[in-house]
């Protein structure tokens, strides 16, 4: 189930949020702490105005909420709102039973909230939040919460791949606890939100904004990742990197899986330790994954087989499981060549200038060298340029000498990260001037038009964007993952 966390300040705003997201969600969480005080007073009416079950929550500031009331006032407000037709009430694990007894003007005696809710068959969620870490006693905490007869909920913050493994182990460690909610918050936890069923979690939360660290939208969770439709037969694929969430690869693979009705999902994993990820890959029986910076070399000691390109380039961007071992491939090599194969074959590209000498440049330079193109590598660090040039029998120079190559090359390839993120709008080679006859090839795909491409376009050059290479290498990965050609009718939204 996907649960939409409602962050509107009025009940009307929240009704609209439910309507807008209705086709993707199974239930909603009304956050009393987000509501205006006047709206809080009439919150009990909310469940009858929407057609999904609703969880009632009034979250303290210390638990990631906005409520700054004293504890007695907070619980009284929760009690008044709980008179509505809610399906679940979320109460923090440290709230004592004695604090849940209230004076009600309609009754002559004190009312026990827990007892009243159970009589009305409203389920109680007992929640524990930790914004710092995954506590060492997390399995014990879940068991303790479940022993009270309530639904245990733990929302914790993994700080490493080993913490992520701890969360995915919840299901095997506590399979006897049927109904539980397990959430990994923050960037490391996003994979646990998507693969929540693998943690044994009853549901996963989503929101239109970021109501909690790591929230994705309901649409992304349901349409892109199909998180609510995954089952025990779903093949898991992914991409590992650090950082990783800028990647557009899920927008290639997940629509491809759906188009050919292949029961699979492609998930981003933020990875600080390749060794720990391979442990997780065995645990989740991951079938294959893409590799981005900084792990294209780090994965190689864990591979049983590698292709000729990986051996030559020293860079692996694709790993698949075959015959109980991991095989490493490099689809960047062929993905880069795909848009220019004809131009190389027709002798339109005989010389190339490659900007940069990092991991991406290695695949580019080797691919061009192996196809008989004379390459010059220019880079800020002359040492890196010299090292790659010596391996590939290329020419090398410093970036400040880029102007010396004006008008003398057929192809210019931009392989650095200059032009994206904090460096968006920056020209990676300001002294180089296009004549208009070159093919300009940019490896960055976000933004779609970099300063490098704008300069080339203004000069009248032919343009190849990073999206084209991303799509080409992605289609080759898709074939390696599934054994099927990528569906040609899919237009990936890159």
Residue 370 scores a pLDDT above 80: yes
Burial code (b: 16+ CB inside 10 Å, e: under 16) for 176-205 equals: ebeebbbbbbbbbbbbbbbbbbbbbbbbbb
Structure tokens at 465: 């964007």
Topology of the domain covering 339-471:
Rossmann fold (3.40.50)
Query: Which residue has 């009331």 as its token pair?
Result: 69
**pLDDT given at position 113:** 79
Radius of gyration of the CA atoms of the chain, in A: 27
The CATH number that domain 238-333+474-482 falls under is 3.40.50.10860
Instruction: Dump pLDDT digits (tens) for 275-297.
Output: 999 999 999 999 999 999 899 99
Q: pLDDT band for 51, please (50, 70, 90 cuts).
A: very high
38 burial type by CB count under 10 A (0-12 exposed, 13-18 middle, 19+ buried):
exposed
DSSP string across 423-453: GTT--S-TT----S-SEEEE---SSSS-HHH
Contacts of 19 (CB under 8 A, 6+ apart): none
What single string gives the DSSP state of each residue in 282-304? HHHT--EEEE-TT-TTTTGGG-S
Return the active site residues. 296
* Predicted model pTM: 0.92
Read off the pLDDT band of 106 (50, 70, 90): low
> What residue segments make up the domains of the chain, in order of their start?
2-230, 238-333+474-482, 339-471
Q: Tell me the pLDDT tens digit for each residue of 137-195.
A: 999 999 999 988 899 999 999 999 999 999 999 998 998 888 999 999 999 999 999 99
**Fold match between 2-230 and 339-471?**
no
* For the chain, counts of helices (H) and of strands (E): 18, 22
Phi, psi torsion values for 345, nearest 5 degrees: -60, -35
**Residue 120 belongs to what H/E stretch?**
none
Options 3.40.50.620, 3.40.50.300, 3.20.20.70, 3.40.50.2000; CATH for 2-230 is: 3.20.20.70
Where is 236: in which H helix or E strand?
strand 235-241
């Amino acid at each position: 189930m996907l649960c939409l966390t409602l962050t509107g300040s009025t009940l009307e705003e929240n009704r609209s949020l439910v309507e807008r997201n209705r086709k993707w969600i199974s239930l909603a969480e009304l956050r009393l702490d987000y509501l205006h005080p006047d709206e809080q007073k009439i919150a009990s009416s909310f469940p009858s105005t929407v057609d999904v079950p609703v969880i009632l929550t009034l979250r303290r500031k210390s638990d990631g909420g906005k409520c700054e009331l004293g504890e007695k006032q907070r619980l009284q407000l929760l009690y008044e709102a709980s008179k509505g037709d809610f399906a679940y009430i979320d109460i923090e694990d440290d709230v004592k039973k004695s604090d849940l007894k209230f004076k009600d003007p309609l009754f002559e005696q004190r009312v026990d909230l827990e007892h009243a809710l159970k009589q009305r068959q409203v389920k109680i969620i007992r929640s524990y939040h930790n914004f710092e870490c995954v506590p060492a006693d997390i399995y014990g905490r879940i068991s303790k919460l479940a022993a009270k007869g309530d639904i245990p909920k733990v929302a914790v913050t993994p700080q490493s791949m080993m913490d992520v493994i701890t969360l995915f182990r919840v299901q095997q460690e506590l399979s006897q606890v049927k109904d539980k909610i397990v959430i990994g918050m923050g960037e490391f936890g996003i994979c646990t939100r998507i693969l929540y069923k693998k943690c044994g979690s009853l549901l996963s939360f989503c929101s239109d904004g970021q109501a909690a660290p790591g929230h994705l939208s309901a649409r992304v969770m349901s349409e892109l990742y199909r998180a609510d439709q995954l089952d025990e037969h779903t093949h898991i694929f992914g991409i590992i990197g650090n950082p990783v969430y800028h990647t557009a690869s899920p927008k290639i693979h997940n629509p491809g899986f759906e188009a050919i009705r292949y029961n699979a999902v492609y998930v981003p994993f933020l990875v600080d330790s390749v060794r720990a990820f391979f442990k997780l890959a065995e645990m989740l029986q991951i079938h294959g994954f893409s590799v981005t910076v900084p792990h294209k070399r780090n994965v190689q000691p864990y591979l049983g087989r590698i292709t000729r390109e990986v051996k030559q380039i020293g860079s692996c961007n694709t790993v698949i499981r075959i015959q109980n071992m991991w095989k490493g491939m490099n689809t960047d090599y062929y993905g880069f060549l795909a848009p220019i194969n004809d131009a190389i074959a027709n002798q339109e590209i005989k010389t190339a200038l490659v900007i940069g000498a990092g991991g991406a440049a290695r695949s580019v330079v080797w691919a061009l060298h192996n196809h008989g193109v004379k390459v010059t590598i220019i880079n800020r660090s002359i040492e890196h340029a010299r090292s790659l040039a010596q391996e590939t029998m290329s020419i090398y120079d410093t970036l400040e000498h880029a102007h010396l190559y004006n008008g003398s090359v057929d192809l210019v390839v931009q392989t650095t990260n200059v032009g994206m993120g904090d460096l968006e709008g920056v020209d990676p080679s300001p002294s180089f001037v296009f004549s208009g006859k070159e093919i300009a090839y940019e490896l960055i795909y976000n933004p779609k038009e970099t300063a490098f491409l704008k300069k080339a376009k203004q000069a009248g050059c032919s343009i190849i964007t990073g999206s084209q290479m991303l799509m080409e290498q992605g289609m080759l990965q898709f074939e390696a993952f599934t054994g099927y050609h990528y569906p040609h009718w899919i237009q990936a939204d890159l």
